[in-house]
Structure 1
Amino acid sequence: MSNPKKILIKAEKAMSSGHFSKAIEHLDELLLAHPEEQKYLMMRGEAHLRSENYESGLIDFAKVVEADSKNIRALVNFAVALIRCNKQNDAKDILEYVLELDPESYDAHINLCNVYQTLGKSEESLKLSIKAIQIKPDSVVAFNNLGTAFADLNMVSEAREALIIANQIDPSYIPTVINLAQIQVKLENYAEGARLYEEALLRKNISPNEAALVKYYLGYAYLHQGELGKGWDYYENGFGSLLPVAALRSKRKFQQPQWQGEPIGDKTLLIWREQGLGDEIEFATCLHDVSLMGINVILECEPRLIDIFNRTFPAFTVRAESIGPDFFPAAHDFDVQCAIGSLPRIFRREMASFTQPATPLALRDSSLQTYKERLSGYSSKKLVGICWRSGLFSMARNFNYTALLDWKELLVQQDFQFVNLQYGDCENELLEIEAALGIQILRWPDLDLKKDLENVLALIKNLDAVVTVGTAVSSLAGSCDVPTYLLAKPGWMMLGQTDRYPWYSCVTPLLAAKGEHLAEKIPHIPELIRKLG
């Protein structure tokens, strides 16, 4: 090997000039001769991080930490690599350990703040960002984190103020530009948000992964405005490594090419699920378009939907996800692949395409009959299903939901019989409102509203109407073609519409204006239901 000192100097020069791949080559040479040298491992790990080779960096930092469990710099870098590999809980444990070793570690505070945000611990994240500012008052990163922590708590004015300070400290810092754009979108200023995202894409210092992140968020801004072609195209960037776990469409990986809607002859297409149940059901409206093409399809879906989709699309092979430990497919019986959330990019590029009929879900006859019989004693009243919140709680999510007590003006209607569609632990809420109003809300102990979709759909199909906030219940009711009143704030799945819900004609959106609570729309609902006839 050449002189190690000269090679090290070359590696250091490559690092300082931003030529990280060249630095890695020099460090590879050094580590061939000295595989346990911590200095070389640290440098190579950092070069991998800077070049966004996170898994390789993780390996190098793990070796350093194994040799020296109190090396704070190595521990923090190890945690950063874990974050980038979407191993948030492991990173959390490492960073909390670092703060035990050094309670004033700025880097640990900054990165643990990011982890807490990803894990939905917004208040803890806010405390850490404030402490980071106390340690380093001129830190653009600390003020940026403060802004995002405020935003997660729906403290929009405070978030914007913190982000403006961050931008004043360093106008070239891309994450702050992104977060300022997100604030505009949160304020429903979609055009301004899109402008800021587009401006960020023109920055010379933007990295490829940051550009993918900006394009993904820009896709939402376009979809909010009803610009479907651009929106769906940019939405394809939702698999980037910088995306927060909550925003990541999927971690799945494929060697097979992505299907773009072209004819494939006798080849087989895999359509695979992503994101939550409600999104999957709504994107599944595009499966009708696929079925008309007469191609071989394997559909991997949420396990609760397998039997339903098997009956609805008998020409498809329907199964649960087939994923190996490395996120590549465990089965290789297909030639091309497409995420279900990518189907609208092919089939829903303009609003007129939403008027085409969808294949109705084929529900189980025995379940339909069961709930017809269970509800038969209430035929003199309008049967109305209700869902007032998500089964998941967080500060940010709860701004989009209601409490059951908010529904009083609807629940006291004597000509309606209400049926519970709220999954999760809600029995105490139901008992409290029943006692307060002297009413009965129907529910059955043998029906699991979360797991048993066969019977949930059969129940909904037997109702006259459904009133719900923005949960999977609105998608389930829409798929059953049951008149549904959706209490919501403007969201990207509205695709720029305000008086209709694009995915289902039976769903009527009741959108809260800026500063208005969802519950303020409830008094209008009884008359809407009575007009159904």
Structure 2
Amino acid sequence: MMNRNQRRTAGATSAKGNAAAATAAANLLAQAVPLHQAGRLAEAEALYRQALAAQPRQPDALHLLGMIACQTGRFADAAELIGQAVGANRNVPDYHANLAFALQSLGRSAEAEAAARAALRLRAAFPEAANTLGNALNAQGKFAEAAAAYRDALRARPDYAEAKGNLGAVLRTLERSGEAEPLLRQALAGNPHLVEARAALGLALLDLDRVEEGVTTLKMVVAQRPDHAGAWLALAGVVQRRGDDALPIYARYCAVEPADAEAWNGYGLGLQKADRIDAAAAAFARAVRLTPLMTEALTNLGNARRLQGRSVEAAALQRRALDLRPDYAAAHANLGQALQDLGDDRGAEASFTRALEFDPGESVARFNRGILRLRRGRLAEGWADYADRFASGRLSRPRSLPIPEWNGEDLSGRRILLWAEQGLGDELMFGSILPDVIARAGSAILECDARLVPLFQRSFPTATVRPPTEGPRDADCHAPFGSLPRRLRGRLADFPARSGWLCPEPARAALWRDRLTALGPGLTVGIAWTSRRITTERRSAYTTLDQWGPILRLPNVHVVSLQYDGRGEEIAAAEERFGVRIHRWDDLDQMADLEATAALIAGLDLAVTVASSAGELAGALGVPVWRLGWPDWTHLGAPTRPWFPSMRCVHPRRGETLSDALVHISQSIVKFSGDSR
């Protein structure tokens, strides 16, 4: 054992050693700090570590070493080192403030909040600590408290650009974009490199309906930082709302944030709208893998599977969504479509009705139920549901007119505006009702596709016919074409046997009769085999010209192309393959010049078409027309389409394809030729 004098001597030696270590550490720190300030971080770090070797737990060395870790993005190391500095000396506000910064950078917001509050207890006017406290509160969703913290930072330092930007951003989150905008602009004026402030400004401008400014600002953000997910997502939303192609932007966002199930779901919706069904299904499936309980993604994946022809799987996905959310109206509606594809009309109608029970505003369900009821011949119920066609988003947008809509009341002495609402084929189909409405009204105005104006004016000489106008006020009431059947075609018996209500120009009709006669003896048969707009859902209704070989090879038949979109290369290839001539004329534009096209069709012996406006035009002219395809809702439960008495519908037999049906049509043409002699 040491005696008292020995212990006193040892204590003196220890004190001298500690003082020497502290002096050595202080000297090393004095050398390191200027290097640190000059950005020579590796040299400074080496000296800080030497200082710690000389004096372990030296708080300034620990703190400054932690700051280098912060500067080099090693936030876990920073939190550990600065935490040790705090443990060694709890009375230095900078230690607590910088510990808060490191913890917040690690996403440990509750701990960061505690550290920032400790700093502010030690130094009340501490703008950096108040700003970090605001960030920690913001990350925890305590937005009002965060705003108060940012304001404290600005009271201590009014020119603090980062705090202004953060305050502006949180005010925008609090739906106070009007207050946020000037703060964000001030922040960027003080520091143009504040990316988050610029992003918040772009979003605030969108909130304020200053869309172009907002888009420009957000584009600056992604130019400055291409991995800014929020800016990409906001840009995608703007572009999508405009009806433009948002897919490239969604793709960029999903590349930046691949774990965002909501984004994959939105991306899938855009792909589906672009008819990229396989890619859409993959996007929805990705969303489901990321968030298996996401009912929106499940029902959207089910829709995509249905469009891929996988209706059994589609129905299972809809039922899975409904197991999770039994009151999900959209999933009930989508299940109805899948069941309808599977031939279960009763189950489909029940699902559509169930959707409407949960959400009476589920217009897609009402529209689809209407189509189903019309297809089954339940006209009164079907037309009532069909009235929701505009709200469903499945058709064109409605017009907002300054006059009331006609609801079937007496039109004597009143002027009605009748306006076309869909594509050319629909104008011609619903147009078959126009003679009845015009006969009831005191006078009528027809607004239709500009290409139809001369034909309609000739066919309805008592009406005023014109292209669509902006906000017309020269009528007492109005009705879109598609609303007329509900008023005048509630039963099949209401369809007149009138064949042909459209009148071609006599002189042009004579000219085209001469041209067709010049082709020589035999039948003149016009054909249309496809559509310019083929989607996944509609593809099965159309053919290729090669499938028409049985008709093209018929003797004593002059085939005339009624394909309004030209298809010169396809026609030339078929002519070479089958050794025939498919007649078309260079001076006839069947898309733009409907007057001449009607005159041509009026001179044909027969038209054979798929579901095409060419076939509808033939039916409206009263020309014999055979429509190839499967029954659809426009048959209204009848074996043929009551809109056009001159139209015969040719459906593939059970187990057959459209190609098989074309063979039967060729045989019928031979018989038709014999009968017409």
Which TM-score applies when normalising by structure 2? 0.65
- 1:422 equivalent in alignment to 2:563: yes
**Letter of the 1:466 counterpart:** A
The counterpart of 2:366, out of the listed 201, 215, 237, is 215
1:112 corresponds to: 267
Q: Is the 1:219–1:234 contact (alpha carbons within 8 Å) kept by the matching residues of 2?
A: yes
The corresponding residue for 2:353 is 198
- Structure 1 unaligned blocks of 5 or more: 1-7, 12-33, 45-55, 324-328
Distance of 1:458 and 1:132 partners within structure 2: 54
**Is 1:287 the equivalent of 2:427?**
no
Asked if 1:229 corresponds to 2:363, the answer is no
8 Å contact from structure 1 (residues 64, 74) kept in 2: no
Q: Is the 2:527–2:608 contact (alpha carbons within 8 Å) kept by the matching residues of 1?
A: yes
Q: Percent identity?
A: 29
* Paired residue type of 2:406: W
Structure 2 counterpart of 1:465? 606
Distance, in Å, in 2 between the alignment partners of 1:58 and 1:520 is 58
**1:342-380 CA distance string (max 9 Å, x none):** 111111110001135366212112211221111112352
SS at match of 1:378: coil
1:512–1:521: 8 Å Cα contact kept in structure 2?
A: yes
Structure 2 CA distance for aligned equivalents of residues 80 and 172 of structure 1:
27
Q: Is 1:176 equivalent to 2:337 in the alignment?
A: no
Which has the larger share of helix?
Answer: 2
What pairs with 1:255-294 in structure 2 (closer than 5 Å)?
Answer: 255-294=402-441
- Asked if 2 retains the 8 angstrom alpha-carbon contact of 1:364 and 1:454, the reply is yes
Match of 2:174 among 33, 36, 40: 40
For 2:449, the aligned partner's letter is E
Contact 2:177 2:208 in 1 (8 A): no
CA contact (8 A) 1:58 1:82 kept: no
Q: What letter matches 2:505 in structure 1? A: R
Q: Is the 8 A contact 2:330 2:355 kept in 1?
A: no
Amino acid at match of 2:342: L
SS of match in other structure, 1:395: coil
Bigger Cα displacement from structure 2, 229-238 vs 364-373: 364-373
1:524 aligns with 2:664: yes
Aligned to 1:139: 294
Q: Which residue of 2 aligns with 1:380?
A: 521
How far apart are 1:441 and its partner, in Å?
1.1
Change (3 A) 1:57 1:160: farther
SS of structure 2 residue aligned to 1:485: strand
> Which residue does the alignment assign to 1:164?
319
Question: Which of 448, 454, 465 in structure 2 is aligned with 1:307?
Answer: 454
Q: How many residues align?
A: 475
Structure 1 pair 292–512 and aligned structure 2 pair: CA distance change class (3 A): same
Does the CA-based 8 Å contact 1:272-1:338 persist in structure 2? yes
CA distance in 2, matches of 1:168, 1:57: 37
Shift of 1:309: 0.6
Q: Identify unmatched segments of 5+ residues in structure 2.
A: 1-140, 145-167, 179-204, 223-227
| Aligned equivalents of 1:353, 1:222: Cα separation in 2 | 17
| Alpha-carbon distance in structure 2 between the residues aligned to 1:42 and 1:366 | 68
CA displacement, residues 421-459 of structure 1 (integer Å, 9 cap, x when unaligned):
112241122112211121111111111121111111111
Taking a change above 3 Å as real, the CA distance of residues 89 and 96 of structure 1, as seen in their structure-2 partners, is farther
- What amino acid sits opposite 1:153 in the alignment? Q
Looking at CA atoms only, which structure, 1 or 2, has the larger radius of gyration?
2
* Separation in structure 2 between the aligned mates of residue 77 and residue 167 of structure 1, nearest angstrom: 30
By how many angstroms is 1:144 displaced?
A: 1.3
Give the structure, 1 or 2, with the largest relative contact order (CA under 8 Å, sep 6 or more).
1
Deviation of the 1:528 alpha carbon: 2.4
Which residue of 1 is the match for residue 244 of structure 2? Answer: 89
Distance 1:362 1:125 in 2: 46
In the alignment, the residues of structure 1 paired with residue 347 and residue 532 of structure 2 have an alpha-carbon distance, to the nearest angstrom, of 33
The question of whether the paired residues in 2 share the 8 Å contact of 1:82 and 1:88 is answered with yes
1:504 aligns with 2:651: no
Look up the SS of the partner of 1:175 in the other structure.
Answer: helix
- 2:355 maps to a residue whose letter is A
Distance 1:137 1:514, change over 3 A: farther
Work out whether residues 65 and 75 of structure 1, in 8 Å CA contact, stay in contact via their aligned partners in 2: no
Structure 1 residues 265-316: Cα deviation after superposition (integer angstroms, max 9, x where no partner): 5443211111111011010011010121142211110111001111111111
Select the residue among 495, 510, 528 that pairs with 1:354.
495
Query: 2:361 aligns to what SS in structure 1?
Result: helix
What is the CA-CA distance between 1:97 and the residue it aligns to?
Answer: 4.4
Q: Secondary structure at the match of 1:289?
A: helix
3-state SS of paired residue (1:505): coil
AA at the equivalent of 1:103: P
**1:514–1:444: structure 2 CA closer, same or farther, 3 Å change rule?**
same
Query: What does 1:406-485 correspond to in 2, within 5 Å?
Result: 406-485=547-626
Structure 1 residue 143, shift from structure 2 partner: 1.9
* Cα RMSD after superposing both structures: 3.0
Over 3 Å counting, the alpha-carbon distance change for 1:100 and 1:301 in structure 2 is same
Q: Distance in 2 between matches of 1:513 and 1:138?
A: 43
Q: Is the 8 A contact 1:190 1:225 kept in 2?
A: no
1:470-528 Cα distance to aligned partner (Å, 9 max, x none) = 1111101101111111111121111112x222111111111235653222111111332
Distance 2:176 2:296 in 1: 23
Alpha-carbon contact 1:479-1:504 (below 8 Å) kept: yes
